């Protein structure tokens, strides 16, 4: 629906919870409806109200499409390519079934040469017995189309890896094709940019969820959701190298050296507990005489 200002807003959402239960969320409350398995009768099981003023639903976008509440799927194009691979494999299977067993060729009997003959991989092909060297033989069908099908499947698989930004990862597993380091690095950068975008979208969604929860509890959420923005292993190595070089520099500032050591500890152990992190930092400060 639209507000008086013309701004479109979400008015209600119906969620299927299973076992014939449906929950309807609106901007002022919720209703839980249940469908009886035997009679199919729909009954209102429970209901409630809230003072949020909005439907408590948060969109988690994969990629934004420019349209409200509509995102872009990562597998939208991949699904079509995968469907094409399925069709190609089906064609290849049919070709193999029809050509795996050669066709038997026999000379036909006299007086039956003018009749129509059904030709197929499971039938017998007849020929004129008066021809030179007219003896039975096996006629094997060519398999040239299978090679083309295999090449198409390989190209489609490569296109899937390219769209999924996994071409650089795949190139480390496939040694048949040599690729330049620049091309691999470029694909890695595209992968890292995609992961960074996903992290930003998750940050925003979690922030909205926690804000809704706080409003439901009559409180205000003043926290911050933070996901990593850099997924490049090479950049981490470079940053560590710069920090270690800076640490080796002879400086008379204990505070500078202490902060460098803290930074190195945070980069090398990002998942350490808060208690251990505080202890490490306090030990660094104590060692620096701060």
pLDDT in tens, 80-102: 999 999 999 998 888 777 776 66
pTM: 0.55
CA dist 35 → 18, 29, 30, 44, 49 (Å): 10, 20, 17, 9, 22
Backbone angles phi, psi at 276, to 5 degrees: -65, -35
Which pLDDT score is estimated for 84? Answer: 93
How far is the C-alpha of 237 from the C-alpha of 73, rounded, in Å?
A: 32
Residue 47, pLDDT score: 94
> Tell me, what DSSP letter sits at residue 286?
H
Which three-class secondary structure state does DSSP give residue 177?
coil
| pLDDT at residue 110 in the model | 58
DSSP assigned state of 28: S
Per-residue pLDDT, 34: 93
Q: At 138, which helix (H) or strand (E)?
A: strand 137-139
Question: Percentage helix, strand, coil, to 5, in the chain?
Answer: 45, 15, 40
Q: What are phi and psi of 183, to 5 degrees?
A: -65, -45
H/E/C letters for each residue in 199-266?
HHHHHHHHHHHHHHHHHHCCCCCCCCCCCCCCCCHHHHHHHHHHHHHHHHCCCCCHHHHHHHHHHHHH
CA angle 33, 35, 39 (to 5 degrees): 145
Tokens representing 287 are 């060692």
Per-residue model confidence (pLDDT) at position 102: 67
For strand 124-127 and strand 103-107, is the pairing parallel, antiparallel, or unpaired? parallel
Residues 34, 42 contacting (CB under 8 angstroms): yes
Q: What is the DSSP letter of 64?
A: E
Of the chain, the end-to-end C-alpha distance in Å amounts to: 60
The span from the CA of 260 to the CA of 16, in Å, is 53
Q: How high is the pLDDT of residue 175?
A: 45
Give the angle 253-256-259 at the CA atoms, nearest 5°: 150
Neighbours of 200 (CB within 10 A): 13
Closest by Cα among 171, 198, 201 to 183: 171
Q: What was the pLDDT predicted at 55?
A: 92
**What pLDDT, on the 0 to 100 scale, is given for residue 31?**
94
Q: 204: exposed, middle or buried (C-beta count within 10 Å: 0-12, 13-18, 19+)?
A: middle
Collect the ranges in the chain with pLDDT lower than 50: 114, 172, 175
In angstroms, rounded to a whole number, what is the distance separating the alpha carbons of residues 23 and 33? 6
pLDDT at position 13: 92
> What confidence score (pLDDT) does residue 67 get?
80
């Amino acid at each position: 629906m639209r507000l008086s200002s013309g701004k479109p807003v979400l008015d209600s959402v119906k969620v299927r919870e299973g076992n014939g239960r449906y929950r309807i969320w609106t901007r002022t409350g919720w209703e839980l409806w249940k469908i009886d398995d035997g009679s199919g009768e729909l009954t209102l099981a429970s209901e409630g109200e809230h003072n949020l003023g909005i439907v408590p639903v948060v969109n988690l976008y994969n990629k934004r499409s420019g349209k409200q509440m509509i995102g872009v799927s990562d597998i939208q194009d991949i699904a079509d390519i995968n469907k094409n691979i399925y069709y190609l494999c089906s064609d290849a299977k049919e070709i193999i079934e029809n050509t795996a067993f050669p066709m038997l060729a026999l000379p036909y009997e006299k007086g039956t040469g003018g009749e129509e003959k059904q030709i197929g991989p499971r039938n017998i092909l007849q020929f004129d017995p008066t021809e030179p060297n007219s003896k039975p033989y096996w006629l094997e069908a060519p398999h040239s189309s299978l090679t083309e099908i295999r090449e198409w499947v390989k190209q489609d698989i490569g296109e899937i890896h390219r769209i999924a930004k996994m071409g650089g990862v795949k190139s480390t597993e496939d040694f048949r094709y040599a690729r330049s380091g620049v091309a691999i690095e470029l694909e890695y950068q595209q992968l890292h940019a995609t992961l960074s975008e996903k992290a930003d979208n998750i940050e925003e969604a979690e922030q909205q969820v926690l804000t809704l929860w706080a409003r439901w509890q009559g409180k205000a959420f003043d926290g911050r959701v933070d996901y990593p923005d850099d997924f490049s292993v090479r950049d981490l190595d470079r940053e560590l190298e710069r920090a270690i070089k800076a640490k080796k520099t002879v400086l008379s500032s204990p505070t500078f050296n202490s902060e460098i050591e803290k930074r190195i500890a945070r980069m090398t152990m990002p998942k350490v507990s808060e208690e251990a992190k505080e202890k490490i930092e306090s030990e660094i400060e104590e060692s620096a005489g701060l």
